[in-house]
Structure 1
Amino acid sequence: MRKYIALALAVLLAACAKAPAPVAEVTLTYASPYPPGHPFSQADSDWMKHVEQASQGRIAFRPYWSGSLLSSDMSMVEIRHGLADIGLITPIYARGGAHMLRAQSGFYGGVQSIGDQVAVYDCLAAKFPEFGQELQGLHVLAVQGGNFPGVLTRSKPVRTLADLKGLRLRAQSDAIDVLRDLGADPVNMPMGEVYSALAKGVIDGVVAPADTIKSLHFAEVAHHFTSLRFSRGAYPARAMSDAAWRRLPSDLQALLLASKPVWEAALNRQLLKAEQAGIDFARDHKVEMIALPASEQARFDELYNRYALTQARRLPAYGMQGEPVLAEAQRLIRAGARPCATQPTGVLK
């Protein structure tokens, strides 16, 4: 009798057990230099969940965070060579081979929002073949804009542009010329190296948005944030290797292309949330928040746009024409930065 009862219980438990999860048809590796709690990584995780659900379990992901598989300055090369199937790329920090992608990020003077940054980039990439040439071997899955940077300094507050003189600042490539003109000593380094450089006094500050006060723990090593607005642009920020792409059936390729707006919306959402969190964190952790006078911001904007033209005129040395790209970027911004209907789309069949 006991045997029959045990058998009946086993049958009942088996009936109540969850059905086994579907086995993925494709498991893709994803790599990022950022930790899993960073806003970028949270957006990446949102996208991965979306793709897994939209593919009905046919695609699964194996993420590698915190630079365990991918670096910041060589990420484009590493993805091309298959270190990971998909990864966070940073052409604005690339050591070579991304001259147009770096320069164009400084052509967005007057842009008003993250959405506008992405829309302008998409239109430029569709019109100028140089963008695609520098991305050879990669399939772009998301373009990233960003919160507008200010200046975060260790010990010397920046209340006017004159206060920049003599400061060694980490800055993105589009800001280097204008900062040098104002007497600063700008250097370009991956963001992952900035905390250590600030802590050791290697640099005096960093050009970065307010979200980094919390997300990258900069409040521990810097104490003054000035809202000096840099009109940064967008850049291709998530990409898949061509080899991994070609392993996918066409309907899954179409799904990944169709998910581009999903990833970009997740990045936008996380960036805005992180910016407010950074501002709140600064207030609670005694980071001084400084508003730059409007006259100083206007002077800075004039210099920024002047040097955008200088950067555009350097590109012929690399076999590319930068001035038409700058002119088109400014035309698009004046016209309202409407999305271009040129991005490939598709649905899972």
Structure 2
Amino acid sequence: MKLVSTLTAMTAALAALPAFAADFTLTYASPYTEAHPYGAADAEWIARIEEQTGGRVEITPYWGRSLITSREGVDELAAGVADMAYIAPIYARSGYDMNRLVPGMFYGYTEPKDVLDVYMKLWDEYPVFAEELGDVKVLGYNVGTPMHLLLREKPVESLEDLKGLRIRSAVDFIGPLAAYGAEGVTMPMTETYPALEKGVVDGVIAPYEALKSLSFAEVVGFYSELPHSRGAYPSRGINTAAWDKLPEDIQQVLMDNVEWLSLRTLELAQEAEDAGRAYGEEKGVVFNDVSDEMKTEYSTKFAPAMEEVAGKLDAEGKPGTEVLKAIRAAHGDAM
């Protein structure tokens, strides 16, 4: 009887063990939750990597800033806080100047896929982007969907309509707003809802998805589709110590999925945009497009600041002006 009990216990213990152990266990950290479009793309990517490596790789995710932050993500990943992580050098306070500043050069672009295509080509052509990240190897890229004007009282149908408005804005957009008599106000996005509700600001520059995710549809009446483009940036990486431990075939699987992860992230982000617009329509937000001429004229106001940025990069020995010219040429602009 004792032998039977022992065998039963051993059988139960063996059944509780995994069918196999992965050859390589990696950690992945993200400041986003799995429910966020970026986290959802990551979860699909993790499952895809595990499947395509035949179970030889196992990736354990840590969501929601439990291991890593947005602003210091590159440094944290390089230091080994996790083996792989979501990174955003565009949010760094300093350093990574090409990666941090070049995204602003995509002003006037209206199609995120075009931005992503141009940016990934630049990454292939200019090693400085990768060199800036040091001990981090890039596994994926993000591209932002365009932001527009969300307004409390009335739409913007001409650039003259901007005069006198106070708009919550990222720093990059303050100059173009000022050129048409609007005041750009910087404040945390988390403080923007009450500021709109109380009339402290007349509007905010944000994407469609913010109508739902930040409930802006409750405090704005109009959404004017004057594009404020967002560039691309490296968004997922692996630290080189973890990378060097992987055999070439697994490294190749990761590299073969760089484009897939980048495009899937954009697809899910666009789904969130569509859901945000639909929510806005349900809440009665009025949408209006603006003319191509208005979009073109407005985008020219970004040029002086970006030429100055390019010059500063040149002074660091980096190809700022050269990259700016390539981005503008791909958009059809002459410099």
Q: CA deviation at 1:300?
A: 0.5
Match of 1:327 in 2: 325
Moved more, 93-102 or 207-216: 207-216
The AA in structure 1 aligned to 2:193 is L
Q: Match for 1:214 among 205, 212, 215?
A: 212
2:168 equivalent to 1:169: yes
Match of 2:145 in 1: 147
2:87 equivalent to 1:89: yes
Q: Match for 2:61 among 60, 63, 72?
A: 63
Match of 2:131 in 1: 133
Q: CA deviation at 1:61?
A: 1.9
**TM-score under structure 2 length normalisation:** 0.82
Distance 2:61 2:302 in 1: 38
Distance 2:272 2:93 in 1: 28
CA contact (8 A) 2:89 2:234 kept: yes
Structure 2 counterparts to residues 17-96 of structure 1, below 5 A: 20-96=18-94
Q: Match for 1:198 among 170, 193, 197?
A: 193
2:247 equivalent to 1:252: no
Q: CA deviation at 1:254?
A: 1.5
Distance 1:68 1:153 in 2: 35
Distance 1:67 1:186 in 2: 30
- Provide closer, same or farther for how the CA distance between residues 156 and 62 of structure 1 changes in structure 2, counting only shifts above 3 A: farther
CA contact (8 A) 1:195 1:218 kept: no
- Provide closer, same or farther for how the CA distance between residues 42 and 315 of structure 1 changes in structure 2, counting only shifts above 3 A: same
- Provide closer, same or farther for how the CA distance between residues 115 and 292 of structure 1 changes in structure 2, counting only shifts above 3 A: closer
Distance 1:253 1:203 in 2: 49
Deviations 1:304-349 (A, max 9, x none): 34443233223234443411111122334449xxxxxxxxxxxxxx
- Provide closer, same or farther for how the CA distance between residues 85 and 182 of structure 1 changes in structure 2, counting only shifts above 3 A: farther
Give the secondary-structure state (helix, strand or coil) at the position aligned to 2:106.
coil
Deviations 1:63-103 (A, max 9, x none): 22222222221111111112222222112221011222232
Moved more, 304-313 or 179-188: 179-188
- Which consecutive residues of structure 2, in runs of 5 or more, have no partner in the other structure? none
CA contact (8 A) 2:32 2:63 kept: yes
Taking only the aligned residue pairs, the percentage that are identical comes to 34
Deviations 1:190-217 (A, max 9, x none): xxx5234433568765433212322454
Q: Report which structure shows greater RCO (CA 8 Å, sep ≥6).
A: 1
Give the secondary-structure state (helix, strand or coil) at the position aligned to 2:104.
coil
The AA in structure 1 aligned to 2:20 is P
Give the secondary-structure state (helix, strand or coil) at the position aligned to 1:87.
strand
Distance 2:75 2:221 in 1: 36
Distance 1:78 1:198 in 2: 31
Q: What RMSD, in angstroms, separates the aligned Cα atoms of the two structures? A: 3.1
Distance 1:294 1:149 in 2: 16
Deviations 1:29-79 (A, max 9, x none): 222222221111111111111101101111122222222222221111111
Pairs aligned (count): 321
- Provide closer, same or farther for how the CA distance between residues 22 and 266 of structure 1 changes in structure 2, counting only shifts above 3 A: farther
Distance 1:57 1:172 in 2: 45
Give the secondary-structure state (helix, strand or coil) at the position aligned to 1:229.
strand
Distance 2:326 2:284 in 1: 43
Give the secondary-structure state (helix, strand or coil) at the position aligned to 1:179.
helix
Give the secondary-structure state (helix, strand or coil) at the position aligned to 2:82.
coil
Q: CA deviation at 1:229?
A: 1.0
Structure 2 counterparts to residues 245-324 of structure 1, below 5 A: 245-324=243-322
